[in-house]
Amino acid sequence: MTESNHDWLRKDDVQSTKASFPELFFDLVFVFALIQLSETLASDFSIGIAAEAILFIFALWWVWIHTTWVTNLLDTEIEPVRLLLFVLMFCGIVLAIALPKAFTDMGLVFALAYSAMQLIRSLFALYAFRGTDAASFMTFFRITAWLAVSSALWIAGGLAEPQMRATLWIAALAIEYAGPAMRYWVPSIGASPPETLDISGEHLAERCALFVIIALGETILTTGKNAASHMDNAGTPLVLCCAFLSTIVMWWIYFHDGQEKAADKAEETAQPQATAQHLFTYGHLPIVAGIILTAVGEDFSLSHPQEEGSYVHALAMLGGPILFLAGTAWMKTVSSRFIPYSHAAGVILLAACFLSVPFIANFAIQVLATAILLFVATWEYVALRRRMPRAA
């Protein structure tokens, strides 16, 4: 018996709020993509490369989070949805392969792979909601219209010269990122009504937490690989210890207090769609970007520990933790309406460290960044412990 479109939608049970094996399988592509991105950055980190990296981080996050929104609405245990994820995985592999040369001779390949992932997924959701949920169908109709416009810019950029390519791709990303905020307004039919999608906040929270683990895992993989290649350097053991400790501390800062509250907020709020956009769609971008840039900074400090620091490389070594702390501070503030002053202090201290960059070596910058992250985690832990008896 063939399945109806209605059978493709997520079931309202406990299991539907948990990440499924097909989703976890899909995530493996992004492990490869993040490794490709980190290695590209670490090999030649300059202002121009850093700007390109920001564009790639925005693109990778956007295609992943929007796929997660769709799998949040559909049943990933049925064959059509699984086949969708397999197709997206193949496109993701092509995208990751093309990423290091996206601004040279593989720009069109990157653009086609990215656009294919966005449009195939959106058209699939459009078909899945046809005849079952008119409001969700119209929402995905609007999303598809916006993605068609941005995909045209992606492909035009892939055909253009590198300078124009960057301009067109930035315009494409600007359109895509503006879409949810504008509720995908389309001429004649207007904007999508608020709260039209029946999302599971708990599922989105778990999926974003798993992506954070993927980013942290990629940090460990690239750091270990780089350390093994530079064990003859005198500063490598110290930098390796700091890099590993900073990864553990970032995990602690994110999961010890923030992630569970974000999940509870997304599940209990009266506006789950808007809350999920604040917490996950936009809110997790600086967290993920910060982890990736931190990994790049650690790789560079491992390969050049004694080299005098430069502001360009400090953008990764200090800028990465700044982004991460800013993102987690936003997540915790939205979740609990309580501003984590420890995170604000950490951002200020890390920013102040830029003053010392020309006078100290890379390994010292890495030690400072790790020490500040540890300070933030300790402050928050002590503050939470003191607050617990009052709450009780």
**Of 271 and 118, the one with more pLDDT:** 118
Inter-CA distances, 128 with 5, 12, 214, 386, Å: 5, 17, 29, 50
**Of 351 and 337, the one with more pLDDT:** 351
Closest CA to 322 of 379, 369, 281, 381: 369
Least confident range of 6-10, 75-79, 133-137: 6-10
For the stretch 123-164, pLDDT in tens is: 999 999 988 888 899 999 999 999 999 999 999 999 999 889
CA distance 25 to 237: 34
**Would the pLDDT of 239 be above 70?**
yes
The DSSP annotation for 240-297 comes to HHHHHHHHHHHHHHIIIIIHHHHHHHHHH-S-HHHHHIIIIIITTHHHHHHHHHHHHH
Distance between alpha carbon 224 and the CA centroid of its chain, in Å? Answer: 22
331 and 283 Cβ atoms separated by less than 8 Å: yes
37 and 107 Cβ atoms separated by less than 8 Å: no
Packing angle of the helix pair 259-268, 319-336 (nearest 10 deg): 40
Least confident range of 106-110, 254-258, 335-339, 360-364: 335-339
H or E segment at 2?
A: none
For the stretch 244-270, pLDDT in tens is: 999 999 999 999 887 888 888 887 887
Share the mean pLDDT of the chain: 88
Closest CA to 352 of 375, 328, 377, 331: 375
The mean pLDDT of 13-27, rounded to a whole number, is 77
CA distance 272 to 309: 45
CA distance 275 to 273: 5
Q: What is the DSSP-derived secondary structure letter of residue 308?
A: B
Query: pLDDT-derived band of residue 392, with 50, 70 and 90 as boundaries?
Result: very low
The mean pLDDT of 323-349, rounded to a whole number, is 92
Closest CA to 197 of 180, 182, 211, 210: 180
Residue 310: the pLDDT is 80
Residue 1: the pLDDT is 38
Residue 390: the pLDDT is 55
Which of 273-293 are b and which e, b meaning 16 or more Cβ less than 10 Å from the residue's Cβ? bebbbbbbbbbbbbbbbbbbb
Question: What length does the chain have?
Answer: 392
The mean pLDDT of 300-325, rounded to a whole number, is 86
- At CA 311, angle to CA 309 and CA 312, rounded to 5? 105
Residue 17: the pLDDT is 65
Residue 331: the pLDDT is 92
**Would the pLDDT of 15 be above 60?**
no
59 and 114 Cβ atoms separated by less than 8 Å: yes
Residue 380: the pLDDT is 92
Residue 187: the pLDDT is 93
Residue 265: the pLDDT is 85
Which of 192-218 are b and which e, b meaning 16 or more Cβ less than 10 Å from the residue's Cβ? beeebbebbbbbbbbbbbebbebbbbb
The DSSP annotation for 288-304 comes to HHHHHHHHHHHHHHHHS
